[in-house]
Each structure stands twice: as structure tokens, then as C-alpha cells.
A and B are shown apart, each in its own frame.
Chain A
Amino acid sequence: MNSWIARFLTSSIGKKVVMSLTGLFLISFLAVHLAGNLQLIGSLDGGQAFNEYAYFMTNNPLIKFTSYGLYAGILLHAIQGILLWRKNIAARGTVRYAVKNDRVASATKSSIYMGSLGTVILIFIIVHMVQFWAQMHFTSNVGDVTYAGAEYAVKDLYTLVKGAYTNIWFVIFYVVSMIFISFHLLHGFESAFQTLGLNHPKWSPLIKTIGRAYAVLVPLGFAIIPILMYIENQQS
């Protein structure tokens, strides 16, 4: 590797730029993911729209290509985040403060707990992917359906998701995980811009407002899906 690239990627600023760019990529992914998943609510067609969407998302070459980038982005963000977290604990020294009051200026207090929040989110992602993604890709637990007029069968992911959310504990797990994501985004969104040097009296208040709204609304959107599906299941 060219020495200046290595120098950048190993420097503290280079590492935070990587955290920022992967973070922004994951933030944009959340919006796409939410838009697709909202089709799960109030499904009148027995999940046809959602299943066809899932088929498209797993078979379209462009989306498939992007998804590999997404896996890499998650891993890079998580692994480097954990390494930075450990590095920062070491930088504090062996003796900790007996009394420490954390005051912050313009950031939110969740900035102090990004490592812990991120770790919980990583565990959530692993459980989430084992439960849906891995079951669909690597097991025969997900049946095929062929809709009228279709030339090919699609996996019935809708039934799998619906089944999962009959379990109140899964519903609680998903909702609680979204609270962790919300707090992580509350700092992550605006911090990503600060890292890139985008701090300006004109744009910074705008970035903060949009970021904080995003951090509340997107996890809220995700959280209502298991809640509503659980209620639908109870009623049917």
C-alpha cells in the first residue's frame, strides 16, 4: 500500500473518517430498509408485495453487489469501533477517576456511550440476521410461493416474519434494540459530519435538527412493525 494511504488509514483522523463514511452508509441503508419493511404492516395481499420485494432485493445484481458493500461496511464499522473503544479505554490510564462528572457542549450525552450502544446493536444485528437472513438463504425453513401470473416462485419471507412476531419476547427484543439504535444515531448522525470537517454556523444547526429527527423517526418506524404485526396476529 502507498505509504500516504497507510498513514491516513492508521491515523486517528483517518480512522474516524472511516467510521464516519461507513456510518453514513449504514444510516442511508436504514432508510431503504425501513421503506421496504413498512410493506409488512397491514398486508391485505398476504404478504405478496413484501415477498416480491424481498425477491427483488435478493436477486437484483445491483442490489446484491451493494449488499456485499453493506456487509463489509457493518464489519468495518463494528470492528474498528471496538478497536477504537479499547484504545480509548487504554488512553485513560490504569487509574480511573474516583469522581467524574461528564458535561458535554454541543453533542448529546449518548456520545459517551457509543461503544456500549454499538456493541448491543452488533448483537442485535447478529440475532436479526440469523433469524431472517440466514434462515432464508441457508435453510429450507422458508417455503416457496408462486403468485398468480408469476413465472417464478418466491420465498415466503412474510410468513417467517409473521411467525416470529407471534412471540412477544421477539417483539420486545426488536423494540428495545431500536431504542439502542436511536441513541446511537442521535450522536452518530451529527458526529459523522463533524468528523468530515463539516461544521459551519449555517449548516450545523440544520444537520443537528435533521439528524435528531432521523434518529427518533427511523427507529420508531422499525419499532412499530413488530408491534403492529403482533397485534394483527392476536386479532386473527
Chain B
Amino acid sequence: MSADNMTLTLKIWRQRNATVKGSFETHTIKGVTSHMSFLEMLDVLNEQIIHAKGQPVAFEHDCREGICGTCSLVINGFPHGPQQYTTTCQLHMRHFKDGETITIEPWRSSAFPIVKDLVVNRDSFDRIIQAGGFVSINTGQAQDGNDIAIEKDQANHAMDAATCIGCGACVAACPNASAMLFTGAKVSHLAQLPQGQVEASQRALRMVEQHDAEGFGRCSNITACEAECPKGISVEHIARLNREYIAATVGSTK
């Protein structure tokens, strides 16, 4: 447990836009309490910068409850910070020590171009979803509950994959900048549900094709993604994606 009046040195990546070169800017922040979240600490820093008539640091955040996948940041070399299974917004300053220097960088991947400072463009993930991360359902009369039978174990496994919030930490962590854990989680989630069967083979083929086209790296089973995933999604879902992909290649007519 750290003191309630910490002074920290922050080395923050500043970059005006995607085309100019960025560099680190150093700030000292005083009066940080251990109860602040990491983003609240950055809010205080931005107040301080605004008072000094400077440009506040741009970073992404939305729900601040750890469920939306909007926040990012590589903190001291760890995506979402050193605490495992935690998003940056749920990371508290009690995990840092008074007087510590903290390095804050954006996700670095050629498929995630920098928008400004710590904000990156993650549209490539949206395009992977658009390529096949959906199910087609004929709407009409509401179905009875439990109409579509599914084994509890399988539903649990599908839910494990569905916990992916699409934050991109897997790409940030991967030495190859591969998005296979994201793609794997999405394919695995739907492949295990009855509703996902209609597009199952097309989904794996199309989503992998889009993944590759976006310029993400190629997975070599390092499992850094699983270690840094705030939801702890297992690489077992990448194995299922591989099975789906191989099966669709040899078994489907496409």
C-alpha cells in the first residue's frame, strides 16, 4: 500500500497527429492518492497542464468500469499496466510507488495508426467484425426461452470467448503485433453457439482474410496476448479458430 500523497514522474508519448513524429514528454505530478484510478491520475495531470496553458494529453476512455474496451495505454511496458486481468481504467495507483517514473505509450502496431498522443485508430478491429463476426437471424415472433438447446459447458466456453471487449491489448502485447486472440475469440464465441452455425465456415475464412489484409502480424503462439488480456482470454480460442479455418478450407465449398 502506497502513501496517499505520491509524487510521480510521467514519461508520456506525445504526437500531434498520424503524420508527424512523436516524442516523450516528461511531467511531474504531485498529490496522487493510492485510491485514484490510473485514468483519474491522468485527469489530474491534464487539469495541471490546462492550468499551465498547455495541450492536455489525449487518451481514450469511456465506461471506466472495465467493460467497454475503450481505454488502452502501455504502462511501463505492460498493456493496461502491470496488474493482470485489469483494464487501465480499473488499475489503481496503489500499484505504484511514491517517486516512481512511469512510462506511458500508445498501442504500437501498423494496423493501429496513432490519431493523437495515446489515442490509436482501432477501425481495423471493426472491419474484422464486419467481415464475419455476426449471426444472421430472421426476426419475427419472440422465441420461447431455452428454445435453442445448448450444453452448459459449451455455453460457458462461448461466454469465455465473448468476454473479449475488443480493446486491442492482445495486439499491443504480441511481439508479432498479431490480432489472432481477438479474431480467435470472436470466431470461437460464435462457433460454439447454435446461432453461429449458419455462417460458421464463412466466418473463419473471411475474418482471417480481413485480419491478414489489415497488416496485423502472424501468430506464432507466444501467448503474450493471453497474459496481457484484461479478460484473460485463453489461446485455446486461437486453436479453435485454427480448427475452424482448416475445416472450412478443406470441408466447405468456398
Contact = CB atoms under 8 A, between A and B. Distances in A.
Nearest to A201: B236
Interface string B59-89: 0000000000000001011100010100000
Interface residues of B, number: 53
B221 interface: yes
A98 interface: yes
A16 interface: yes
A112 to B, nearest CB: 5
Nearest to B214: A91
A111 B77 CA distance: 18
B242 A196 contact: yes
B218 interface: yes
B254 interface: yes
B222 A95 contact: no
Contacts of A84: 218, 220
A92 B220 contact: no
A95 to B, nearest CB: 6
Nearest to B102: A99
Contacts of A100: 74, 77
B231 interface: no
A4 B254 contact: yes
A100 B75 CA distance: 9
Contacts of B119: none
Contacts of B22: 95
Query: Most A CB atoms within 10 A — which of B111, B211, B219?
Result: B219
B43 interface: no
Tell me what chain B mostly uses at the interface: helix, strand, loop, or mixed.
mixed
A15 B245 CA distance: 12
A97 B176 contact: no
Contacts, number: 143
Given A13-B246, A97-B105, A106-B235, A91 B215 contact: yes
Given A4-B254, A16-B220, A106-B235, A93 B78 contact: no
A74 to B, nearest CB: 18
Given A106-B235, A197-B242, A199-B236, A12 B227 contact: no
Contacts of B4: none
B216 A91 contact: yes
B223 interface: yes
Query: Most B CB atoms within 10 A — which of A96, A104, A106, A191?
Result: A104
Contact of A91 (B76, B109, B173): B109
B97 to A, nearest CB: 16
B24 A98 contact: yes
A93 B74 CA distance: 15
Q: 9 shortest A-B CB distances, which residue pairs?
A: A197-B243, A199-B239, A91-B217, A105-B226, A101-B77, A88-B176, A99-B77, A105-B223, A88-B217
Given A88-B178, A105-B225, 16 more contacts: A13-B241, A16-B218, A16-B219, A87-B217, A88-B177, A88-B218, A91-B216, A92-B176, A93-B108, A99-B103, A100-B77, A101-B82, A107-B221, A191-B221, A194-B235, A194-B242
Interface of B: 11, 22, 24, 74, 76-78, 82, 84, 103, 105, 108-111, 173, 175-178, 180, 205, 208-209, 211-212, 215-228, 234-236, 238-243, 245-246, 249, 254
13 contacts: A7-B249, A11-B209, A11-B245, A12-B219, A16-B219, A88-B176, A92-B176, A94-B110, A100-B77, A103-B228, A106-B226, A112-B222, A114-B220
